[in-house]
Amino acid sequence: MAITTCVFDAYGTLFDVAAAARQAAAEPGYEALAEKWPELASHWRLKQLQYTWLRAVSDAHCDFWDVTQDGLDWALEAVSLQGDDALRQRLLDLYWELQAYPEVPEMLKALKAGGLQTAILSNGSPPMLDGAVQSAGIREVLDDVLSVESVGVFKPHSRVYDLVQERFGCARNEVLFVSSNGWDAAGASGYGFVTAWVNRAGEPMDRLPWKPAHVLSDLTTIPQLAGL
């Protein structure tokens, strides 16, 4: 079947999750972060994800904003910057205004011009996602923004992927699902979506029962993969 619907993970896929730490490190007053921001950004993202997995398997769901703050607190301590309340608040504020990767707006415009349906499917809470979408200026090229909050469990639970079919009425193999997380792309492959893993960092393939159909270095070729 032809692809009718392109669905994207948000954080790390459309939005640069390292942008908050990188921007704060360049601002006056946060010089202590200047040499440590790449390490902090890496720790922050990893702990944020790990906490979603642990909460999913232990049936202890919470708002994604909670795990985002918990992950940041762990990361700040890991790089010996805990206790700087101003820095913590600035990083959290910037997370609501994450930059989109440079190719994102034109890629989404091409999909819409080609008649495809487009959406975000994210662990993020609706207010967080709304802030990022508005900041990136991509609202007009998205048909919907789907959050796990409507099902109360984080990815890669199948109930999350169910949201796409429920919203768009499409078959699983009509969906091109795109994620920067190898585990997310793998989970979506097992679910039955056609998947693309955006492996910007050149990481090894996850050792899981399922593999993404495509491995990309950025999102530029998504319209071609969708058949345009």
pLDDT for residue 127: 95
pTM: 0.95
At 52, list the tokens.
Answer: 């979603």
- The pLDDT of residue 121 is 98
CATH superfamily of 5-15+99-225: HAD superfamily/HAD-like (3.40.50.1000)
Whether 93 is a known active-site residue: answer no
Q: What is the pLDDT of residue 1?
A: 74
Start and end residues for every CATH 1.10.150.240 domain found in the chain: 19-95
**144 neighbors 167 (Cβ within 8 angstroms):** yes
Per-residue pLDDT, 140: 96
Q: What is the pLDDT of residue 205?
A: 95
Place of tokens 């693309």: 196
Omega prior to 156 cis, within 30 of 0: yes
19-95 belongs to which homologous superfamily? Putative phosphatase; domain 2 (1.10.150.240)
Distance CA 216, CA 180 (A): 9
Helix (H, G, I), strand (E, B) or coil at 59: coil
- Residue 132 has what pLDDT? 94
Contact (Cβ atoms closer than 8 angstroms) between residue 40 and residue 84: no
According to the model, what pLDDT value does residue 114 have?
97
Domain ranges in the chain with CATH number 3.40.50.1000:
5-15+99-225
Amino acid (1-letter code) at residue 225? L
Walk along the chain (228 residues) in steps of 10 and give the mean pLDDT of each run.
95 96 95 95 97 97 97 98 95 94 97 98 96 94 97 97 97 97 97 98 95 97 96
| Per-residue tokens: 49 | 């994800």
